[in-house]
Amino acid sequence: MANDQAKIEFFRQEQLPLPLAYLQDQEIVGLLSDCLTQAENAYDALQNAGKQLAVGIMVPKEAEKDWKKQGNNTKDRATSLYSHWGSDRVYWGALELPFFSLLEDLLINREQALTNWCDEVQQAAWRALDQAIEKIGESPTALKAAVKARSILGGKLKVIFDPIQKEVIQ
């Protein structure tokens, strides 16, 4: 609402109809929660890789440093550049339809639903990073930054989705 007028500027409403089984089976709710956590963790991995890509382009000398050791100015600039590339929208947009499928498939075949979800999340993360990499060109600096970013994303996705890790967690 506008501050100086009692006039609504924008209104939005969304609904997410869930099957009743989600109210009756706590195991399904737990699995869904785990799937959402995986998506969030993969998103964090994508952000780490994307910001490192931005550092590699802007300040190649600093690209070997860990993100935590980067200066605040470099972090701010890298975050802004990464945000400009729009990888977030690509990632979350790619997961909308698979999420609706997950909601239905968890009730039918849990194993297959979880496998499909893991695949979709990983593919969405790779597509989002690839989209950012396309925007930086093909200079030697850009290629080196892309290799570093892919390495970061691949390593973090392996930790998130490694079958051995899943067995330990469960």
Domains and CATH numbers, the chain: 42-169 (1.10.132)
**Residues 63, 144 contacting (CB under 8 angstroms):** yes
The overall average pLDDT reported for the chain is: 87
State the pLDDT confidence band at 168, using cuts at 50, 70 and 90: very low
Report pTM.
0.83
pLDDT digits (tens, 9 = 90+) for 42-101: 999 999 999 999 998 888 877 777 777 778 888 888 889 999 999 999 999 999 999 999
